[in-house]
């Protein structure tokens, strides 16, 4: 993550940040307001953990919401790099790719991208 210590003041409103924070902990950062309090139920963390344990998994990235969650604004996400570099993202992941929410299951809201 590039940070030694992260003070989390927003992941309760923007759940996308919890995936980033859990990955930061996995890579050695100290996160104040422990992101694991919410549980290890998101797909990106499970991917990152499997990778750390040597389990073969498809290349995966976590992307921010398209729309701001209720009660947040562009200012809430001011530390994100925008616009996203789609060529770099899909160059890393490859095609076909699957877009899906980072939490949930049952193949709901899953899209195959060619």
Instruction: Write the DSSP string, 46-106.
Output: HHHHHHHTT-----------SSPPTT--GGGGTTS-SS--HHHHHHHH-SSEEE--SS--T
Give the domain range for residue 95.
Answer: 5-64+79-113
C-alpha to C-alpha distance for 75 and 10, rounded to whole angstroms? 11
103 within some domain: yes
Q: Quick count: other Cβ atoms within 10 Å of Cβ 78?
A: 8
Q: How many domains are contained in the chain?
A: 1
Token pair listed for 18: 């919890």
| pLDDT of 31 | 95
95 within some domain: yes
73 within some domain: no
Residue range 54-74: average pLDDT?
Answer: 88
pTM over 0.95: no
Given a cut of 80, whether residue 58 has pLDDT beyond it is yes
CA 22 to chain centre: 9
Instruction: Provide the 3-class DSSP secondary structure of residue 62.
Output: coil
71 within some domain: no
Given a cut of 80, whether residue 1 has pLDDT beyond it is no
Given a cut of 60, whether residue 26 has pLDDT beyond it is yes
Given a cut of 90, whether residue 42 has pLDDT beyond it is no
72 within some domain: no
27-40 pLDDT tens trace:
999 999 888 876 55
| Range among 13-17, 38-42, 105-109 with highest mean pLDDT value | 13-17
């Amino acid at each position: 993550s590039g940070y030694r210590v992260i003070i989390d003041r927003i992941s309760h409103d923007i759940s996308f940040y919890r995936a980033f924070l859990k990955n930061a902990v996995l890579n050695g950062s100290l996160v104040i307001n422990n992101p694991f309090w919410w549980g290890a139920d998101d797909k990106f963390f499970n991917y990152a953990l499997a990778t750390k344990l040597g389990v073969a998994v498809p290349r995966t990235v976590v992307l921010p919401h398209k729309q701001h969650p209720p009660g947040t604004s562009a200012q809430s996400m001011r530390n994100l790099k925008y616009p996203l570099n789609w060529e770099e993202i899909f160059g890393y992941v490859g095609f076909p790719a699957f877009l899906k929410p980072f939490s949930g299951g049952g193949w709901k809201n899953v899209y195959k991208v060619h």
